[in-house]
Amino acid sequence: MNISILSGILALLIGLIYTAMTFLLPDAPIGRPMEPKIFPMTLGFLMIILSSVMLFQEMRKTKKDERPAGTFTIDTNLKNIGLTCLFSILYAILFDKLGYVISTLLFLEGELFLFNGAGKWKINTVVSVVFSLIIYILFSKLLGVYLPMTPGIWI
Amino acid sequence: MDSLMYLLNGFTVAFAPMNIMWVTIGGVLGTIIGMLPGLGPATGVAVLLPLTFTMGPEAALITMGGVYYGAMYGGSRASILINTPGDGAAVAATFDGYPMTLKGKAEAALAISAIASFIGGIFATLVMVAVAMPVARFALKFGPAEYFLLFLFALSATASMSKGDRIKGFISMVLGLMVATIGIDAQSGVKRFTFGILELQSGIDFLVIIIAIYALGEVFKSFQNIAEGKKKVQKEFGRIWISKEEWKRCVWPILRSSPLGFFIGALPGAGGTMAALMSYNNEKSLSRHPEEFGEGAIEGVAAPEAANNAASVGAMIPMLTLGIPGSGTTAVMMGALLMLGLQPGPMLFQQQSTVIWGLIASMFIGNIILAFVNIPMAGLLVRVLAVPPKILYPIVLGLAFVGTYAISYSVMDFYLLIIFGVVGYFLSKAKIPATPMILAIIVGNNMEQSFRRAYKISDGSLSIFWSSPLAIALIIITVLSVILPIIGDMRKKRAAGKGQTA
């Protein structure tokens, strides 16, 4: 499917859902009851109009030249992005439990594996260890930004 | 004249040894980030912002200012040496900068880009000193209705000037305003679109979204290019300087491009990219030997570099004096100010004059330091370009996460970071510009609040939005900012159609 049409449909859906939700918003307890709804409602309607126009334009464009501009496929790029998201979620889960240094080390090791490849694991490890230690010391010790400590270790 | 007094006062702040150190550190780090392909000043400021969380407001702003124009200087290094611009504003530097490198004149290109940036930056800062106070004073006349219309103008101008599809720019803008409505409504206490999630009650922190779009989104995009292999970087340089003839060729282009860049930068939505491209085309048409442009003409590097640095300062004016950011990067800078508890706008110059004039004064110092960093030390700095992006991008990710954590000490924001990073990637895939959305998220709340205040003052009548001459003028320029580009497009189309039939 053409990605422009897909995003047009998505925008239209967002507009419809958002508008529906504004009608369900509770009334304001003080002042004009409608007041908190006016602005969002306008936005919802605008979104519906804009995305309809965009869809209409895109449909006409694709009719004109038969070949779709950018088709939506799952490639290695998307796989890497998916893995990065997965690593990030794991990072978020482990962040408080393992402490900054260990969780960051693991996260970076994973990302460098994606970007740099497993073959260069020596460089990857050096970069991960150095980065997580430097950032920890810089933020936690020098700048006074609290980062979760690794249990059982001094840092 | 009191501007000068304030400026002198500002210099006493900016000349404090600590602040000179911070502007230098910020400038060098900004230069490095700006050099990375795909990462520009917006990413630089977003990723390095957490460094300043524990500093005082003066030091924090001065550091971020350093990062901002450091990244502007740095962007052109990569354009000249490896033909990959750091961000849009540095694109024009590839046109002649890279051909110069291929001809073995990288030294002159690096030198002139730093010199031109320096002159552009200093010129624009001088103009800023002159106009900032009058603009701020004028803005004090604005009531809530005028403010609402001003926000509307800034946003619609940005959306309407966005590259490619205009309608996509507006969709991006509305999307941003929608995100801004999430959270408890400040005036009525009604919870809006929080889906029962406690963390969403205070709204989505725009800094998280900025980091997500400018750091994660850019890294996601880079997965594609990473496989393409790395260009060789020239590491050995002769003396980085220019000859007398080269200087003579550049002097007028620089002096013409600086005011042009400043003016375009101060307009909402236009920004550094447009300034650089316009001044490049301008010089090409004025030149006596336009055929050299694109083949390594030195003024083709000088003009856009002067223009984009002047634009980056010009863009600070509406942001500082009106609270309206005109570009992605100034939006991020405004985020930095808000983070420090400073609300940009006309009152800022009255209540926080030391901080603001300290920042303005540090722009002079920062430009001098950066010219030094970027000319004699350029050979050293560009070695960063030799570090493979494969290693640098994971580090940018690491910085993005630590920065997000430092904003609210909550891992919850990591999930928002991931979600909006993916959103940013798909926006770029669908060719929907992200800038209108970022601007809308930052000013969305203020925009709605001014609308509501005006609505309250008028006791529920919308006529307040066209009851003053100022308001009517704002409505007219808003309509024009939307209609003029459309008419321009139609004309172009008609001309193209005629060309085909003839």
Residues from chain B contacting residue A106 (CB–CB below 8 Å): none
Separation of CA B31 from chain center: 15
Nearest CB among B167, B171, B192 relative to A25 is that of: B192
pLDDT (0 to 100) of residue A151: 66
Nearest CB among B171, B191, B401 relative to A11 is that of: B171
Q: What distance in Å separates the CA atoms of residue B247 and residue A132, rounded to the nearest whole number?
A: 46
Chain B interface includes A119 (CB < 8 A): no
**φ and ψ of B196, to 5 deg:** 70, 10
Nearest CB among B397, B405, B456 relative to A111 is that of: B397
Q: Taking CB atoms and an 8 Å limit, are B50 and A95 in contact across chains?
A: no
- Written as six digits, the tokens of A147 are 């980062």
Q: Taking CB atoms and an 8 Å limit, are A7 and B426 in contact across chains?
A: yes
Residue B400 vs residues A111, B141, B165, B413, B459: alpha-carbon distances, Å: 13, 40, 30, 11, 45
The C-alpha of A146 sits at a distance from chain B's nearest C-alpha, in angstroms, of 8
Q: Taking CB atoms and an 8 Å limit, are B390 and A116 in contact across chains?
A: yes
Q: What distance in Å separates the CA atoms of residue A148 and residue A133, rounded to the nearest whole number?
A: 13
Instruction: List Cβ<8 Å contacts ≥24 apart for B258-261.
Output: B258/B119, B258/B120, B258/B123, B258/B124, B258/B306, B258/B307, B258/B310, B259/B123, B259/B127, B259/B310, B260/B307, B260/B310, B261/B120, B261/B124, B261/B306, B261/B307, B261/B308, B261/B309, B261/B310, B261/B311, B261/B314
**φ and ψ of B183, to 5 deg:** 120, 180
Q: Is the pLDDT of residue B299 over 60?
A: yes
- For helices B389-408 and B412-429, angle between their N-to-C axes, nearest 10 degrees: 130
Decide: B424 and B220 in contact? Cβ < 8 Å. Answer: yes
Q: What distance in Å separates the CA atoms of residue B428 and residue B422, rounded to the nearest whole number?
A: 10
Decide: B286 and B332 in contact? Cβ < 8 Å. Answer: no
Separation of CA B308 from chain center: 10
Comparing C-alpha atoms, which of B50, B53, B6 is closest to residue B29?
B50
Q: ∠ at Cα A93 (A126, B406), nearest 5°?
A: 75
Q: Taking CB atoms and an 8 Å limit, are A104 and B398 in contact across chains?
A: yes
Q: Tally Cβ neighbours within 10 Å of residue B28.
A: 20
Q: Is the pLDDT of residue B389 over 80?
A: no
Domain contains B496? no
Chain B residue with Cα closest to A115:
B390
Residues from chain A contacting residue B415 (CB–CB below 8 Å): 89, 92
- Written as six digits, the tokens of A47 are 């979104």
What is the Cα gyration radius of chain A?
A: 24
Tell me what the mean pLDDT of segment B440-460 comes to. 89
Instruction: Report domain extents, chain A.
Output: 3-64, 76-143
The three-state secondary structure class of B192 is: strand
Helix H or strand E encompassing B273? helix B271-286
Tell me what the mean pLDDT of segment B373-383 comes to. 80
Separation of CA B226 from chain center: 26
Domain contains B495? no
What tens digit of pLDDT does each residue of B261-273 get? 999 988 876 778 8
Comparing C-alpha atoms, which of A36, A43, A151, A88 is closest to residue B398?
A88
Decide: B284 and B293 in contact? Cβ < 8 Å. Answer: yes
Chain B interface includes A139 (CB < 8 A): yes
| DSSP per-residue string spanning A122-146 | HHHHHHHHHHHHHHHIIIIIII---
Q: What average pLDDT does chain B have?
A: 86
Residues from chain B contacting residue A94 (CB–CB below 8 Å): none
3-state secondary structure B380-395: HHHHHHHCCHHHHHHH
What tens digit of pLDDT does each residue of A33-54 get? 888 888 999 999 999 999 999 9
Residue A84 vs residues A112, A116, B223, B401: alpha-carbon distances, Å: 10, 13, 11, 13
Q: Taking CB atoms and an 8 Å limit, are B414 and A132 in contact across chains?
A: no
**φ and ψ of B195, to 5 deg:** 55, 30
Q: What average pLDDT does chain A have?
A: 84
Decide: B430 and B160 in contact? Cβ < 8 Å. Answer: no
Q: Is the pLDDT of residue B501 over 60?
A: no
pLDDT (0 to 100) of residue B52: 84
Decide: B113 and B302 in contact? Cβ < 8 Å. Answer: yes
pLDDT (0 to 100) of residue A84: 92
Domain contains B42? yes
Question: pLDDT-derived band of residue B500, with 50, 70 and 90 as boundaries?
Answer: low
Helix H or strand E encompassing B191? strand B191-192
- Written as six digits, the tokens of B498 are 């005629």
Decide: B124 and B444 in contact? Cβ < 8 Å. Answer: no
Amino acid, single-letter form, for residue B364: F
Number of domains in chain B: 1
Q: Taking CB atoms and an 8 Å limit, are A26 and B190 in contact across chains?
A: yes
Question: pLDDT-derived band of residue B502, with 50, 70 and 90 as boundaries?
Answer: very low
Q: What distance in Å separates the CA atoms of residue B28 and residue B62, rounded to the nearest whole number?
A: 13
Tell me the count of A-B CB pairs closer than 8 A: 159
Domain coverage including residue B214: 2-490
Residues paired with B184 in a beta bridge: B191
Q: What distance in Å separates the CA atoms of residue B156 and residue B143, rounded to the nearest whole number?
A: 20
Residues from chain A contacting residue B54 (CB–CB below 8 Å): 143-145
3-state secondary structure B215-264: HHHHHHHHHHHHCCCCCCCCCCCCCCCCCHHHHHHHHHHHHHHHHHHHHH
Question: pLDDT-derived band of residue B84, with 50, 70 and 90 as boundaries?
Answer: confident
Tell me what the mean pLDDT of segment B473-478 comes to. 91
Domain contains B499? no
- Written as six digits, the tokens of B273 are 């990219």
Global ipTM: 0.88
Domain contains B497? no
The C-alpha of B396 sits at a distance from chain A's nearest C-alpha, in angstroms, of 10
- Written as six digits, the tokens of B226 are 């990473």
Q: What distance in Å separates the CA atoms of residue B471 and residue B490, rounded to the nearest whole number?
A: 29
- Written as six digits, the tokens of B271 are 């920004």
Question: pLDDT-derived band of residue B226, with 50, 70 and 90 as boundaries?
Answer: low
Comparing C-alpha atoms, which of B98, B93, B139, B430 is closest to residue B275?
B93
The C-alpha of B42 sits at a distance from chain A's nearest C-alpha, in angstroms, of 21
Tell me what the mean pLDDT of segment A65-93 comes to. 76
Lowest mean pLDDT among A61-65, B334-338, B393-397: A61-65
**φ and ψ of B231, to 5 deg:** -80, 150
Residues from chain A contacting residue B451 (CB–CB below 8 Å): 38-39
Q: What distance in Å separates the CA atoms of residue B262 and residue B310, rounded to the nearest whole number?
A: 5
The three-state secondary structure class of A71 is: strand
pLDDT (0 to 100) of residue A153: 61
Q: B168: exposed, middle or buried (C-beta count within 10 Å: 0-12, 13-18, 19+)?
A: buried
Question: pLDDT-derived band of residue B190, with 50, 70 and 90 as boundaries?
Answer: confident
The three-state secondary structure class of B438 is: helix
Which residue of A50, A98, A113, A123 to mutate against B (max B Cβ within 10 Å)? Answer: A50
pLDDT (0 to 100) of residue A125: 92
- Written as six digits, the tokens of B441 are 């998220």
In our burial notation (b when 16+ CB lie closer than 10 A, e otherwise), range B237-246 reads eeebebeeeb
Q: Taking CB atoms and an 8 Å limit, are A43 and B181 in contact across chains?
A: yes
Say which residue the tokens 């205009």 belong to.
B166
Helix H or strand E encompassing B184? strand B183-184
- C-alpha dihedral sign at B160, B162, B164, B167: negative
